[in-house]
Structure formats: C-alpha cells, structure tokens
Amino acid sequence: MDYTHLGRSGLKVSRLCLGTMNFGPQTSEKDAFAIMDKALELGINFFDTANVYGWKTGEGITEKIVGKWFALGEGRREKVVIATKVYGRMGEWPNQSRLSARHIRDAVEGSLKRMKTDFIDLYQMHHIDRESPWEEVWQAFEALVQQGKVVYAGSSNFAGWHIAQAQETARARHFMGLASEQSLYNLAERMVELEVVPACRAYGLGLIPWSPLAGGMLGGALEKMEKGRRMAENVQKEIEKRRPQLEKYEAFCKVLGEKPADVALAWLLCNPVVTAPIIGPRTIEQLTGSLRALEIKFSEESLKTLDETWPGPGGEAPDAYAW
C-alpha cells in the first residue's frame, strides 16, 4: 500500500479510502467486518463514514457497525484514520441538522458514542451551511480540537469560494481550518477542476473524490450485470446516454489490458491534489481488486485519449471559459 499526507497535514493515509456507505443497507454487519479486516490486512488505514449513513433518521446505522468492529480490539481503532461527517438530519427538531454550534456539539457526541471511540480523526462538514457564519462553525470546531474529540476538520461538497471563505476566516482565528475536501470527482464528472481543485491546491487541502466510478458506470458498465449500483434506474439511464463514450472507454481499457474500474481510479490518483479516492466495495473481491489501480501508470498519449473520451470543463477558471 502507498501512503500520502492528508493535504498539508502531517497525517499519513492510504492512497485508497474505504467507504462504508454500503454497510447496513447493502452489506451485512458480518460482511462489513470482513471487509474492514481485509482492508487493514491490505494496508488501507483510511476509512470514511457519516452519521446519516444507514439512511434511517437519527440511527447512525453505519457508524454503529464501525463502532462494533472497533470494539473487537486488536489495534483496530489505533490503526485506522476514521473520518465521519456532520450536517445531515439526525432528528425532527430544528437544531438536529446543519452546522450550528449546537448541532455540531450534539452530533460529535453521537458519533463518538456510536463508534465507541474517544476521538474522530477527520470530522467533515457534509455540506455547506449558508445559514451558519464561519465564526460560529470554527468556534465549535476549535472547542472540539481543544477537548481532544476531533483532530482535523474537513469539508465535503464545498465550492471553491466556500473553501477560500472558510480558510481565510480560520487564518484570522489562528486556526488550521480545513485539511481536506471531499468532492464528486471522476472521469465523467469533472466540474471541480474549474475552481475546487485550484482552491484545494492553493490552500493545501487534500482532495478526496467520492463516487470515483460514477455509481458503477465507469466500472465496466457495458458488461452484463445482474446486481450492483449500476443496475439502478438512474445509472442505467446515464449508461444509455453515455454509451458511445463508454464503448470507446472500455475498448481503450482492453487495449491497456486493464479493468475499467482500475483505470478510473488510477486516473484520479494521477492528480497531485488527490489524496485518496473513496472506494465503496460490497464484497472482499471488489476491495482486493481495487489495489491494481495503485500500479497503473499512464503515458501522455493514454492521458490524452482519456481526456478526449471524457472531456473536462476545459481547464481551470477563468481560462476554461475566458481568455
């Protein structure tokens, strides 16, 4: 396994991040335990979850599975860099969602209890909250860091200017601010290249791409499948819409002698701003197969072919749309 720093921080994490969103709804507790054990065996030390995963309001099903696994001991918690998130609705009352200082305080206590841990390595804001001022948000995070309950702060689904706003406010408070940003980023969805990627580079944030396979579309979508995320109606519609691109892409992967999923992950890992794509395996076989992406190296010609097949927004703003 290869390791890198989480953005400009001194924290070292694996180049692949284990996503746990399937744990509970699609992956049983027993299978989730086996996947997490295998991840550690393979050297993956970076796990990502969220308090809303499990998708039953307020229950934190996925965090509970992670917590039960931590409780098995044998150094599991000590080896893992655990990332979770705050923002989503955890109850029906007004202050049980978003990023008020009150909700951040309540949410972190809930996550700590469910995951049976004393601290969270990376506590991420799951979405921007336009109703909570940065002074309030950072005051809450500063208290959590001082109390030892949170080590690093991160964001998810932020725009480039949100990152700038957050970091400049943190700088004025002599606080580190964000260590990472988790964004939708893959060959088929490259809008973050306009402003989020440059903002991460400028402020030293590690970029953590979610949905690196575009819901399975980039994982060999034209192969016959009977189950999995790519069988969802919305993904099937996108596959039909993108069929010409997918045919070209999968043919190119065959020429390389690599699986489409591995090529998609390897392409993200070429970007120096990217810390670790989030892989969300349902099975151990899917997990172990992902490691091939760490070994793939592209020629300039191969990268050009991928850009032609999956064109981005044209570069960084404003050059992508102006002079």
At 231 the pLDDT is 64
Residue 22 DSSP symbol = T
Domain 3-309 architecture: Alpha-Beta Barrel (3.20)
At 184, the amino acid letter reads: L
Work out the pLDDT band at 232, boundaries 50, 70, 90.
confident
Bridge partners of residue 247, in order along the sequence: none
173: nearest Cα among 126, 124, 140: 140
Among the options 53, 152, 185, 203, which is catalytic?
53
Q: What is the mean pLDDT of the chain?
A: 96
214 within 8 A of 278, measured Cβ to Cβ: no
Q: How confident is the model at residue 236 (pLDDT cuts 50, 70, 90)?
A: confident
Cβ neighbors of 226 (< 8 A, separation 6 or more) are none
Residue range 271-282: mean pLDDT, rounded:
96
Q: What pLDDT was estimated at residue 282?
A: 87
The ranges assigned to domains in the chain are: 3-309
CB 213 within 8 A of CB 189: no
> Phi/psi of residue 254, each to 5°?
-65, -40
pLDDT more than 70, % of the chain: 98
C-beta separation of 245 from 308 below 8 A: no
12-14/278-279 β-pairing: unpaired
Q: Is the pLDDT of residue 226 over 60?
A: no
130-170 per-position pLDDT tens digit = 999 999 999 999 999 999 999 999 999 999 999 999 999 99
Q: Is 203 a catalytic residue?
A: no
Structural contact between residues 277 and 268, judged by C-beta atoms closer than 8 angstroms: yes
**Residue 81 backbone phi and psi in degrees, to 5:** -95, 105
